[in-house]
Amino acid sequence: MGIHSKNHGGFQGGTSLQTNAEEEVVLKRCWLARYWNLCVRHGIHVEIAEAKSKYWSTFAPNNPVDVVLAAGEKAKVETNLDLEDIEYQRDLNELSGEGNIENMLFVEQGLRELTSLKVEEALAIALAQHRRPNLLKAGFSDDLKLPVEGQCDAFQLSQEEAQDVIFKQAWLTYIWRRAKRHEIEPEIADERLQYWIDHNSKTPTSQDAVDVERGLAEIRKLGIETQLWDESRKELEQETNNSKALSRSDF
């Protein structure tokens, strides 16, 4: 895996952020590359999907899924940003300088676009076709949707659905580890982190899929990722102030 050390949309320079923010930039690029790649594969938003996929893949690792899964694995055990996986650490080191404010804002714009186009919702139905194709042919698209918790027995997902659940479980584990480290939502962060550590499954069911969607909805409702970004900005401001103080002391 190799990360392309380029700036989004021609941005050059900018104010560099801490390592945590640099890591967040590349993982969100992975998210964007993955879901636009799936759009190409499943014929969703065909008028723009290929261009978006190529664009975000340019700025993501060669295998974005593996990078997010690695981040999730590390988040299970880390007490600080001490990453022992040499290849994963090398990828992040190659990102040095990418975590500037302009790049982060551009990634956030990409994520908002993904949400406004309802890409994940469309993919949920597309992925379910491989599980129950006859229902779709008969026009029963509502029956492809995942069950509401407790309304029916869990069933085995298609291979692509299962991969998506595992990907999102890793993402949630990573986000809650960072939230705990920064004391964001401290009354629930430790519990949520432990929940996602305990609920990572190699053979997820439809109930696991329901759980990850509820988990993603929760972090969005609580604004966890926005709060993490605010923390990165605070760290940056402190770093900048310290640098200015050191510069003044040189005279």
pLDDT (tens digit per residue) in 161-181 = 999 999 999 999 999 999 999
Q: Rounded mean pLDDT of 93-103?
A: 59
66 versus 12: the higher-pLDDT residue is 66
Bridge partners (DSSP) listed for residue 100: 16
Of 5-9, 42-46, 55-59, 173-177, the least confident: 5-9
pLDDT tens digit string along 3-41? 444 454 433 344 444 567 788 889 999 999 999 999 999
User: 178-185: long-range contacts at Cβ-Cβ below 8 A with a sequence spacing of 24 or more?
Assistant: 178/20, 178/24, 178/75, 178/228, 179/224, 179/227, 179/228, 181/80, 182/227, 182/228, 182/231, 184/224, 184/227, 184/228, 184/231, 185/222, 185/224, 185/227
* pTM attached to this predicted model: 0.78
pLDDT at 137: 47
Mean per-residue pLDDT over the chain, rounded: 79
pLDDT at 103: 81
pLDDT tens digit string along 206-251? 899 999 999 999 999 999 999 998 887 777 667 667 666 666 665 5
**Per-residue confidence band for 128, with pLDDT thresholds at 50, 70 and 90:** confident
pLDDT at 239: 66
pLDDT at 12: 38
Bridge partners (DSSP) listed for residue 205: 156
Share of the chain above pLDDT 70, in %: 68
Share of the chain above pLDDT 90, in %: 49
Q: Rounded mean pLDDT of 40-47?
A: 97
Q: Rounded mean pLDDT of 93-97?
A: 49
Q: SS3 of 162, please?
A: helix
Distance CA 206, CA 210 (A): 6
